[in-house]
Amino acid sequence: MGSGGHVRRDVRDDSGGAVVEFVALSVLLLIPLVYLVVTVSRIQAGILAAEAAAHDAARAVVVEGVRSLEQGRSHAAAFDAGVARAEALVTVQLDNFGFERDDARVAVGCTAEPCLSLGSNITAAVEVDVALPGVPGFIGRALPLAVTVGGSASSPVDSLAGER
C-alpha cells in the first residue's frame, strides 16, 4: 500500500507477452522449415523427371529405331531417328515435372556396333539442373545455386523386335 492508501499496480504487466513470443518464434522457425520442404520437393521432382526422361528416351530409341530399320533405313539413320524421338520425349517429361528443356542434358549410346543390332542395349542418361526456389536472378548469376541430379536407363533391343 502506498502512502495515500492506494494500491500500486505494477507497470510491467506481462499479460499477452507469451502470445507475441509464440508467434514470433513460430514464424522464425516455420519459414526455414517451409523453405526446406519446398527445396527438397523441387529436388525430388528433378530426380523423378530425370529418371522418367531417361527411361522414355532409351525406350524411344529402340522403338523408333526398329521401326526405321523395318522401313529399310540404315542402322545409323535408324539410330538418329530414334534419338530425335527420344529428344522429343525428354522435352515432354521435363515439362510434365515443371522443368525447361534448357535445364537438362541428354546422352544416348549403344552397347554394340552397329547400334540397334539384336541383343544390344540402348542406354540413356539425363541430367537436370534444379534451381533453388526463391533465389533472385542476380544472386544466381554470381553463385552456382542449382543442384544437378541425374537418371539413367537401359533398354534392350530384343530378339522379337524385328519379327513383327
Quote the percentage of the chain above a pLDDT of 70.
Answer: 85
**44 — pLDDT class (breaks 50, 70, 90):** very high
Give the integer Cα–Cα distance in Å for 151 and 107: 11
Provide the 10 A C-beta neighbour count for residue 80. Answer: 17
150: burial class by Cβ within 10 Å (0-12, 13-18, 19+)? middle
Closest C-alpha to 69, from 34, 117, 27: 117
pLDDT digits (tens, 9 = 90+) for 46-74: 999 999 999 999 999 999 999 999 899 99
